Structure 1
Amino acid sequence: MQKATLFATLEQAVVAGDKQAARATLEIAHAADIAQAIHEFTAEQAVRFMSLLSLPDHANLFGYLEPNAQAEIARVMTRNDLAALFSQMEADERADLFNRLSKEDQHALLPGLAQAEREDVRRLASYPEETAGALMTSDYATLRGHWEVRKALKRLRLEAPDKETIYQTYVIDGDRHLIGTVSLRELILANPDRLIEDLMRTEVVSAKVDDDQEEVTKKIRHYDLLALPVMDSEQRLVGIVTYDDAMDAAVEEATEDAQKSASVAKLDAPMNQVSGWELYRKRVFWLVLLVFGSLLSGAGIAYFEDTIAKYVALVFFMPLLVGSGGNAGSQSAALMVRALATGEVAMKDWAKVLGRECMVAGALGITMAVAVFALGLFRGGFEIAIVVALAMISVVVAGSLIGLCLPFILSRVKLDPATASGPLVTTIVDATGVLIYFGFATFILGL
């Protein structure tokens, strides 16, 4: 069903208060598509539509909404309705929503929750953002090593409706220490009389609650896991990160890196929902800062104004040379930022990567120098051509090395390497290129 048609159908159901039409729409369209159409509603309209659904359907649909839309809708719900919704939501999703509510709304909501839910929300909401603790859910299944397979399967049948996944279950001891893991497939195929401790795998890949979510997604991808168990400081199992939550986190990280690579601070909402003021506020700092960085290029030009006045033909090649250095630097930075993010390159690889980049940048510079030498002959003669060719080699090498080194340096001082891409590299390389170009010109033409 197309978005416009879906929106019109939902709107009619809201206006008419037609529960049958609302539920029929859920049966026809996927909840993710309905959630996308609901973004066109006001928060009050969205609440009216969701009130036509059963509580489980309401919670399922709510989980597909964008985080900011969830928070906006939650603010206009009554305390009792919101508490009922919380009881049906997945543990990690309700903790995320709880953190987006105001302190006043949080205090109003907690008394309406059951004690176990209240404690679970408080615990999961207490972990810092972008850590394994903030990403994990407490809805996981556990078994004991001394149980028989028959008992384990019976337990899983009872727990399945309330757990996020039962395809991988975790074997714990009396103190909740993780001692092994067993898959549902292994349980189904095993002899019913066999003990879990004889069936489980004891070598378990896990994460700690304070691990960065980027490290968590790397582990899930590297080991091809359905879920990753999360341990506290005493090696007790406190949650799991499922692959779908890890994928959402990976998309979020990639989006944030893309924004940082353009020198834009992390946006608090999707691009089609963010306000003009928010876009201005997130972009203005770096743009103003880079304006002052560009003054270095201007200072370089001013320093060599005598050379420029004497050889006006040099001005023709300045955009070409400076742009080439910026392009080479942006390429190197983009490759290095991504390699650092995926773990393909580590700090120990510094010397190897630097040596290879010098050779590649030199080859690129020579190739581009050959291309511009003829142009230099045509526009300014042999001497100008020599200046342009030598400057091209030097600018491309310098730009590539700056683009390569900046991500390493930022990573070393615990800053995000993504910041090194795009405008920051270009601004630094531009100033460097001006100095190199006119430095060569002054030296060679002065001879």
Structure 2
Amino acid sequence: MFEDERTELLEKIEDYVDRKRYADLRDLLLPLEAADIAQLFAELEEKALPLAFRLLPKEQAAEVFVELDSDQQEMLIQGFSNTELKEVLDELYLDDTVDIVEEMPAGVVKRILRHSDPEMRKSINEILKYPEDSTGSIMTTEFVDLKATMTVEDAFKRIRRTGLDKETINICYVTDERRHLTGLLSIRTLLLADEDDVIGDIMETNLISVQTLDDQETTARSLSKYNFLALPVVDTENRLVGIVTVDDAMDVLQEEVTEDIELMAAILPSDKPYLKTGVLETWKARTPWLLILMLSATFTGIILTHFESSLSACAILTAFIPMLSGTGGNSGTQASTAVIRALSLGEVRFSDLLRVLWKEFRVSLCCGACLAAANFVKMMVVDRWLMNNPEVTAPVALVVCCTLVGTVLCAKLVGCSLPLLAEKAGFDPAVMASPFISTIVDSISLLIYFQFATALLGI
């Protein structure tokens, strides 16, 4: 939905609410997608939200409810009558209900479970037992299962009888008497088959499945890799217990990307939207890393103090320290970002460490030589000639340029290796991103700088 269209619709909604034109408001909302309605509801006043929500038909209301943020969901649940709450819960898919339960306070959860039917309550409790980041925690148990002995006609009868309440009927799963997964087939295969064909003869037996305790991000990547609409989830005995659909995978990937971005910016991850995160929560998320980085940056000060006499002998060297540190940090960030992305996509593993180092070594030499050449011309033409600074001599320029090559080389090698080492050690590779690498590279660049200054200038 475009910004202008959204603003216009919001104005109409507010106008209809103020003038109590509820029939017009209902007609305005009916053609819209659930995600667009939720986006509009996010900007409504609190008193108008329950009214507008109650105007929606049951099925559409349930779809919109899933798209709302947790604060709005909680407010609506608090205002629902028992009948209204049960109507919404009856229209929700199991995995959506579980997601809502995980976000709600204990009092609201008890009310949701109290008004869920026994079978739904049992399924919710089973899914909640799985670890937070596991595939079992995002799966749904609402799928169509068939038997290999059924005919296509029998299969269609079962789909018509049970499919209304299922997450998807595009893919049907074939199980034996003990619920072991033996095959699957698409609705397209069923439509193109003869009515008397046996399911066991036309089903696919070359199966790709995931297990309940597999990492949810790995499962989401598998869905993306194979372009599946859903993946079957089995337990350790290959019994079918649920499916993960592509919409759930997209949510997982979005959460993981957000978490990686926050870690790369040295912020502890948060599951709340930016504007709904309080000042104290934001402070708690940012301060620990800032303290760590501040303390680690003291090494830079120690190095500068150690070489204080060298700086006094050639004060012009001080002017180029920010440029060297900045270039080193940027070089390391480039390499780490590329490797972190490759790790998240499964393009590289720890076993590829030497290949990655060899590639970045060659890249760093090319980049360092190019930067050094450009910087030498800049120092001699701009700093010495145009700015008339006699302290910028050819030997000084040579020291700076040699340091540039060494800094870029070390920065890229550090930047590409730390994420791989972090993953091998069981940490999130995104932790080894810009702030952390910049702090390390700052110290390394100063050591290289003063080593070249000592060797070439004799200070």
TM-score range, shorter chain: over 0.9
Matched-pair contact (CA < 8 Å) for 1:326–1:430? yes
TM-score (structure 1 length as normaliser): 0.95
> What secondary structure, in the 3-state scheme, does the structure 2 residue paired with 1:2 have?
helix
Matched-pair contact (CA < 8 Å) for 1:149–1:196? yes
* Cα distance in 2 between the residues matched to 1:260 and 1:161: 42
Residue 452 of structure 2: which of 432, 440, 444 is its match? Answer: 440
1:19 CA displacement:
4.8
Unaligned runs of 5+ in 1: none
Correspondences of 1:336-415 after superposition (within 5 Å): 336-377=339-380, 378=384, 380-415=392-427
1:266 CA displacement:
1.5
Equivalent position amino acid for 1:436 in 2? I
User: In the superposition, relative to structure 1, how do residues 440 and 183 fare at CA in structure 2: closer, same or farther (>3 Å)?
Assistant: same
Equivalent position amino acid for 2:148 in 1? G
Q: Does 1:328 pair with 2:331?
A: yes
Residue 83 of structure 1: which of 66, 83, 86 is its match? Answer: 86
Write out per-residue CA displacement over residues 164-216 of structure 1, whole angstroms, 9 at most, x where no aligned residue: 11111100111111100001000011011110000001111111111112111
- In structure 2, what is the equivalent of residue 107 of structure 1? 110
- In structure 1, what is the equivalent of residue 119 of structure 2? 116
- In structure 2, what is the equivalent of residue 151 of structure 1? 154
- In structure 2, what is the equivalent of residue 255 of structure 1? 258
1:337 CA displacement:
0.3
Q: Does 1:187 pair with 2:190?
A: yes
* Cα distance in 1 between the residues matched to 2:449 and 2:73: 55
* Cα distance in 2 between the residues matched to 1:44 and 1:120: 34
Q: Does 1:243 pair with 2:243?
A: no
User: In the superposition, relative to structure 1, how do residues 133 and 44 fare at CA in structure 2: closer, same or farther (>3 Å)?
Assistant: farther
Residue 299 of structure 1: which of 297, 302, 325 is its match? Answer: 302
* Cα distance in 2 between the residues matched to 1:414 and 1:306: 43
Matched-pair contact (CA < 8 Å) for 1:337–1:418? yes
Identity value in percent: 33
* Cα distance in 1 between the residues matched to 2:102 and 2:85: 14
Write out per-residue CA displacement over residues 268-316 of structure 1, whole angstroms, 9 at most, x where no aligned residue: 2223433333333322221222111222111111111100011011012
User: In the superposition, relative to structure 1, how do residues 307 and 375 fare at CA in structure 2: closer, same or farther (>3 Å)?
Assistant: farther
Write out per-residue CA displacement over residues 50-74 of structure 1, whole angstroms, 9 at most, x where no aligned residue: 2233322211211222344334433
Equivalent position amino acid for 2:255 in 1? E
Write out per-residue CA displacement over residues 213-253 of structure 1, whole angstroms, 9 at most, x where no aligned residue: 21111111111101011112221111111112212221221
Equivalent position amino acid for 1:250 in 2? L
Residue 92 of structure 1: which of 76, 91, 95 is its match? Answer: 95
Equivalent position amino acid for 2:109 in 1? Q
User: In the superposition, relative to structure 1, how do residues 271 and 16 fare at CA in structure 2: closer, same or farther (>3 Å)?
Assistant: same
1:440 CA displacement:
2.0
> What secondary structure, in the 3-state scheme, does the structure 1 residue paired with 2:244 have?
strand
* Cα distance in 1 between the residues matched to 2:192 and 2:302: 75
Residue 423 of structure 1: which of 426, 429, 435 is its match? Answer: 435
Matched-pair contact (CA < 8 Å) for 2:268–2:285? yes
* Cα distance in 1 between the residues matched to 2:45 and 2:125: 29
User: In the superposition, relative to structure 1, how do residues 16 and 374 fare at CA in structure 2: closer, same or farther (>3 Å)?
Assistant: closer
1:325 CA displacement:
0.8
1:329 CA displacement:
0.2
Q: Which deviates further from its counterpart, 35-44 or 386-395? A: 35-44
Equivalent position amino acid for 2:363 in 1? V
- In structure 1, what is the equivalent of residue 387 of structure 2? none
1:44 CA displacement:
4.9
Correspondences of 1:186-225 after superposition (within 5 Å): 186-225=189-228
Write out per-residue CA displacement over residues 366-409 of structure 1, whole angstroms, 9 at most, x where no aligned residue: 22122222345535213212211221111101110111111011
1:43 CA displacement:
4.7
Aligned residues: 447
Q: Which deviates further from its counterpart, 398-407 or 433-442? A: 433-442
Write out per-residue CA displacement over residues 111-158 of structure 1, whole angstroms, 9 at most, x where no aligned residue: 222111111111222222232112211221111000000110121122
> What secondary structure, in the 3-state scheme, does the structure 2 residue paired with 1:241 have?
strand
- In structure 2, what is the equivalent of residue 20 of structure 1? 23
RMSD: 1.9
* Cα distance in 1 between the residues matched to 2:162 and 2:422: 47
1:81 CA displacement:
3.0
* Cα distance in 2 between the residues matched to 1:237 and 1:43: 43
Q: Which deviates further from its counterpart, 47-56 or 432-441? A: 47-56
- In structure 1, what is the equivalent of residue 10 of structure 2? 7
TM-score (structure 2 length as normaliser): 0.92
* Cα distance in 2 between the residues matched to 1:19 and 1:174: 53
* Cα distance in 2 between the residues matched to 1:434 and 1:197: 70
User: In the superposition, relative to structure 1, how do residues 17 and 86 fare at CA in structure 2: closer, same or farther (>3 Å)?
Assistant: farther
